Structure 1
Amino acid sequence: MLVIERAVWGVLLMSSLITLSKSTKLNVPKLLLPLSTRVPVNITLTAQRGCYKWVSFKPETVRVYPLSALSPPALLPLSSCSQQCLVSALSSPQAVPLRTVVQAQDPVTGHILRCDVIINRIESIQVVTTIRQLFTNDPPLQLSVRAFDSEGNTFSCLAGLKFNWRLAKESDAIQAVRFVRHHDAGYAPPPHILSLEDAGQWGESVLLYGIHSGSALIKVSFLHPEHKHVEAASVTLFVIDRLHLSPVGDTYLLQGSTIRYTLWKTEQEGETEVTLSEEGYSLVVDGYKGRMYDHDIISVEQDTATVTALKLGHATLTVTHNNLPPQITSQLPRTSVYVVNPSYMTLSIKEEEDRWVLETGRQYYLTVRIHDNKGHVVHLSQNVVIVVEETEGLVTLESLSDPACHLLQTIMKGKTLIQALLYSIVSEDGECWPVIPPIRVQQEVEIYKPLTLQPSVIVFPWQPHNKLYQHNIQVEGGSGSVTWEVSDREIATVTVKGVVIAGKRRGHAEIRVSDSKNILHKVVGKVMVVRPARLQLIPQRGDCRVGDSIDIPFALWGIQDPPNTCSQNSNLFSETHNLQCGESLLEDRNLVLVTDCSQLCLHIHTEPAGIFTHMSGSLSPGAGFCGGVRMGALSRGHAVVTITVEIEGCNISETTTLVAYSPLKSLVSEVLLSVGSSHEVIFEGGPQPWALAPLRFFSDVEVQPEGGVTVEVLSPAKAMPARYAYQVTCTAVGEQWLVFRCGNTPGPLNEILTVEESRVQVACGVPAGLSLSLLSSPSSPSSVHYSCTQPHYPCGLLSVSSTRDATLQLSVFDQKGVQFDNFTSCSVRWTSSDPGVLSLSPQFTMKVDDRLTQTGYKLHAWQVLQAHGQTGTVTVNATLTCPEMLTAPVSQCVNLRLVDDVQWTRHSVTLFNHPKVTENLTLIHGSGRFHAHLQDNQLASINQENSNVIQVSPLQTGSSVLMAHDLCLTSDPAVASFLVSDIKDFQIDFISNIEVRHSAVVRVRVLDSNNQPFLHHYLLLMNLMLIPSSSIISVEDMGPVDKYSVGFRVTGLTVGVVSFHLSAVDGHGFVISSSHKNVQVYPPFSLQPHKLTLAVGSVRQVKWEGGPHPQYGVKFSMSDSSIAVVTEIGLVRGVAVGVVKLRAAPQTQNKEASLIFLQDEVEVEVFNLTAVRIQAPLVTLSVGTEVCPSHAHYCCLHPCFCCQERFG
């Protein structure tokens, strides 16, 4: 099976090779080679593809040599297989033409390629060239020889044959052209041409240059005599200079103006001016030569090539040459000249591309153009008079020889006008041709200051994982509207407002800013994103007060990446990129100062902690620094601050020392002393000595002016650290300033002088007034938040407790009302007007001590007064005597009223939680100065209308304690329980049974959260309503019944059972209802019969109807039981003759209810029976019938009364 597959693949491969070989062709199917006895003529045959063995059918005439595929190819052995071969035609004595075949056979496929080869004699030659006209200094022109046999067939190759190329003697070609070798001209010819030229001979192809204008006849012939029968071939070439006239294009002139033309020749070295007369050229007007005529439009001066416009019209100027035929001279430059009238003028500034927005301090060339009525620009010669007028902001520095060009300079910012006028044209003979009317042009110009950038260079630090930097560039100058452009957006971008944003790649880019009104006005800045390399802290101040802050600016230097480094093209934030930092790596690198590093990723460490802390935010860049941190002073002390810039791969750190101190202050701002007394003045805080430079610390104290006081420095043991204590003693009356200073002189750690100053005024005075006040007990709550108002008039009235001792406090003041800090050099005497009520302490010792006042600690004298449980008013007097007093001693008295402790008139208070509720509470006894408050002030608001009436309004439900403090006494507060409550329940007292058309009173109470009734005036706010379920009863509001109740009158209208409930509205507007109560309305209670007559000893039944239901029974009673008696069931029995009243009252089953119902009564008459008369309807009866007597009449002794009883 495998053998079969290989055979199939072999057949397929062979088939493919055969197909490819059959499609292969030779580069030349037929060759015509010249017969040469001296030199064999060679040509190369090449197959398109494949490898072949080459064979010549007549090797004696034509030989084939296999060639390699190298360049240049090399000869191979004759039996070799190759893609190309060399065919060489040999000389032969046989007659020509000779014919043979060169065959190529593929040794694999057997495919054959053949080429017919003919060898014949050359009969004629021809010179072949692409053009016959060439310009001087153009690339060389190639001339080739083409050979033909007798039948005009072209020979395939002339390689190896020598030719004689020459210039005809009858022409000036020696001056027009010259031959040049291929190698000298920089061309690579075929090898046989190169070998002939190296030997000083020429082959079938030559090169020649055109060097001068003219014509040249080139001839060529065979050099060997065997081809002497072949006539020479020739070709005529024309050489022309590459010329052009200046100015180029059509020219428009004003009548009387001139223009000078220049003829330029283009050469390899550049352009050179051609002198017309010297090089045979001339400038003529088409249509005539020589002398001009009056009707001519222009005239030409040949020596200077100057054209003068004579009259309106059109003429054509042409360049001619004496040695060139007409067909060649027609290709020389020509131009048209138009003589026109001026129509209007235009202005332009070439530097600004006709944008009329200029910059101050610059020079501009103003071009004035004159146009004809068709808009063509007129050439202006020097005899055209144009005036440019100077305007504000512009100065004409120079009007050049060209009247169209004027040099201007801008001198100031603003808007101005440029004005130009065409007045006249002056001819060479001085004749003036005025332009009537003069042509004028105006152009408005805006002038601005040049654009500048601040800063012009921005350097950002590269931080791949941090917030991108932004920095604002200020643009100064210009029109105010600019456009921004960045050369590399990966490095930085810029917004329309000039905010430069760092990109995500290191490198540098240009920021180009253009004025929107003139994009040619530009300024270029630079933005760089560099790798941080070095950090330097630049603290200007090393210490500050606690609570203040110190700014630590720092400068950051970055390293520019070398150009074309991998970091520029690699991943933007490659984690494996190895950053380098530190000064040791900066030897061969340029450091640049970073502009803005305010967003650096910093780590700030302080040692020890707690003295300084890093405050949020960062410093904005400034002069000499790119950012910084702000450290806030928390407490006194020295701290070492380390700032580290964290970047990938390494960290850069710098340290500095900071000191925090408390503000320098004195404990008192002024001191008032009596002569002979002293006071300690203490200063604390201020700058402290530096640990590394303690000798730079200084402190001193000074009295200004000197005299009046003495100052003694207290030992450090008497002063705390960071305190400076001085003993000041008054020696004479007067005022001085005690000035204290301390600080550190400038040094390496603190470049700014740190010094603080504090002043204390020391006054030595004479006491002029006293003040007596009560000293509150420290345990008294009133002394904590409130104080008793002291009287400000002599012998003012103060209240004290009649059961506790009181302490009077003495303060001394000068004539200005300033309190003395020390008056121990003076003596004090105390007296009481009624020692039996209030007496001085038995020890009679006065104490002195400093107490805190609104102006600081002041010296006070204390005197204890003893109360004896009696009320009344006592006057206490204090007299002060000082040695320096020249007048009478100073005294002060105070009236003390002894009172009982304060109390509430009510010991408990309950408020209904309603916004309209306000309760007035009254305090009794005490001093009259009170402060009331709740322990829980969220329950109610308190308003103290006067000294003893407290107004309370509820806020929310709850219970608390209401306290009242006596501000002038040290007694315990008056306490009352306090409750704010919503409606909890109802208490309804009522009669459950009501006789119809009668009324009963329903008494209602509303209960609080403690099940206690609210006062009746709160019930008026509750909108109480008694609501029946039907119209059996009617309800009428009766108003308050007692202190806690309100009543409703309920009247029974019809007999029946009805329910009712009570509704109320609480303080939140919600309706609250009671449970339902039942009431029975019963019919009237009555007895039957209404009058009862019975005989003595007889018994009769009394009936009743009506009353409540169910009933327990009816209670009967007789007014006189000796006449008649009644049983419990209403049986009446006569006992004796007489008349009595029988009363009956129903009873309910509720035995607990002590309710009284209505009763009824009947009259009972008891008589003696005297006769009985039966009245019947019949007296005769039939046997067997029955009849019942209908009535029986009882006759008694009463003359007008007879009883009757019905039977049956």
Structure 2
Amino acid sequence: MPLRADVEVGHTLLAPLQAYFTHRETRQYTAFTDCSLLPLEISMEKRGVFVLAEGDLLQRRSVLDNQKPDWMFCSSLQMEARSVGHTLLTVSVNVHQQYLETSAIFAAYEPLKAVNPVEMALVTWKAAKEIVFEGGPWPWVLEPSRFFSELTVEHKDKIEVIQIRLPTQRKVNQYVYRAVCLELGEQIPISSRRSTVLELAVFDGQQRKFDNFSSLVLQWKSSNRSLAHFSDGRAMRMVLKDDGRGQTRLHGHQLLEVHQIKGTVRVEVSFVKYRTGGGPQAASGLFTSVEFLLVEDVMVLPDNVTVYNHPAVKELFSLVEGSGYFLVNSSKEGIVNVRYLEADGAIEVTPLQPGFLSLGIHDSCLASLAPVAAHVRVSDMHEVEVDLSEKAEIGRSIMATVRVLGFQRLPLQSKYFKYMKLQLQAASPIVTLVQVEEVGEYSQLHTLHAVAVGQTTLVATAWDKMGRKITSAPRKIEVMSEGGPQPQSIVHFSVTNRSVAEVSCLGHITAKAVGTATIQATIQVVSEDTGRVTVFSQDQVELEVIPLKAVRIHVPSTRLITGTEMPVFVVGLNNMLTPFSFGNANPELSFQWSVSKRDVLELLPRHRKVSIQLLAQNNVAMVVYTRAAGRTSIRVKVQCLNASAGQFEGNVTELSDEIQVLVFEKLFVFSPSFSTEQILMSTNSQLRLYTNREGAAFVSFQILQCYPNSSVLEEHDQGLLRAGPVTGIAALEVTSLELFGVNQTIVTSIQVAPISYIRINVSPQIYTTGGVSLAAFPLGMSLLITVEFYNSIGEKFHAQHAQLHLSVN
């Protein structure tokens, strides 16, 4: 139910929305008084004509913040017109398995203004002038036949105006009139803001100026006292002035007081009588008059701007209001070229070199206290900046903003981006980027759509006028699964059955009894402007509390090389029963580990490297260290310390499991003795190689094409290896050209393989008196956690590309 469907570009438009309830029996409609919390979906047929006044259309948070009820409607949207045109706005809502939508057409137009002449036209008697207006509303797309235009003339007896039929080649929103001068007249511009002192001189019949006419009684009159008036029409101050040739004459001064309203006023001065009786007979009807045009003081737009230093840039400063007759001065020379475009009422500035200056605009016709100033800073490109949310939910879109900063980190306007070849790129295809047609005043906008879960970085690049490439700092973004955490949000947890489990405000679940319950989580976003709480996303999971039926030993691999390490831990019968499910049970469980052949492998405590020896009931995980070739078994026994707690099914007190592990020797050539090393990389990873001859010799790297699957390396750039998504082996040749004429060559293999398991290391090491291990970490201690990656036989990766998730119970 739009109140007004068109608006000037740059202004906002209220799009009201009314929702109704339908009575099932009577089928009558009842209007809602407030429907501002409806989760509206907004779409526009043409992008770029309108945007939401308070944010982006793609973010539901912005839509909800924009909705406001009123006594005439239950919700509304504030839209800002960005460009000329019209668009079909569709608002839809999907609630309670019902889909509702409504549409309306909205239009934006340029403001109506005079383009020729801009302020004033001067013609001789009976001469004509074509007056051109441009802008204003266009014919309405639904009812173009009802469109009309109207022109009003202030003095119809002095000017005859005829509308000219528009030629087909002219603009659609351009209106041309022919004005013919019927009577002589002239308008003198004066300020409508400040009162003006009018000066009077009196002449005789031979056009000789009187030296003194103080004996005359003169009457001052204003044709429109609402625009300007005289406090005393007969009180005039006589002022002595030099005529420039040494002779002084008296002039009459009268103050014309204005009311800060623009318009046209005629001032008349007439002879009434002599101040002393008995004087000569004066001719009747002696008077003079002049017409004044009351105008606003001149303004320059913009008055403070940073101009990009590029020879193709031409910055225009518009001179608004004023008399139309100006003098333009520059405070410094050599920084910009200044050209005054009198016909357009504008100043054109072309940058020459970086610097700061001021443009002074003086109105030649108006009495002004000081010239109007416009401050101009010419700046090179110094920095490119990318701004976006660090997290995105898969399947959703967010907005990425790119800005270019100049001197003192002042942003450069987006209209200069076309001279910079500004680009935004993502490091991986887990996100897609589409540049939005509409841009911010100082920013380039891109729609980022999250395609796959993972992490990547965004980098923006630009080139200055010298061809120098400037790159932004990489911005990380994490794509999370649906319902994942959101920045600046509150996650609220709840449980449907508190007799089965409880959940804390941090999402920590405590199982209380066997049964099922539903854990619900909602992401609530608080608007910074209104403080309104909005549910951004919500999800729920089914929780089942069960007794432990059996345990299994989880091992990433059962075939390992000697001299490697591998983590092992206890799980339930399926993958859902992880150590998080029972590792911190209350009452506690006891875990006892054993190995059949200690000379083949050894079970070590999880945190032995930092001198922490956990109690037996806490050893849900251990570390396997392979010593020699052979076959051995690993066994774990889990005991319930309180059988009445019902933690094990069947009220048993012990569960156990056993697995077989094969340890074999790693292949190496021992005769003759030499060192061989294979580089191990994961898929889609990269590795920078360094040698001990860097800087002392010319070192080059080459991928040998002797292997059928040498394409596992996508590219290499003098020491930087990049592995692709294909696994396999390639050969790398490293050559060192020594300055003294000797060449050294090393050929090594590069294997690209998938990651089989990871191992966590904790540091720093804790030192105690007597070397006694502690049973727990000291409270307040800071831990450094490092992660190592291994393949299927326990070889450690030199380079990897994997997404890590760290969670605690």
Scaled to the shorter chain, the TM-score interval is 0.3 to 0.5
Q: Which structure has greater strand proportion?
A: 1
- Which entry has the higher C-alpha Rg, 1 or 2? 1
Q: Whose relative contact order is higher, 1 or 2, with alpha carbons under 8 Å and at least 6 apart?
A: 2
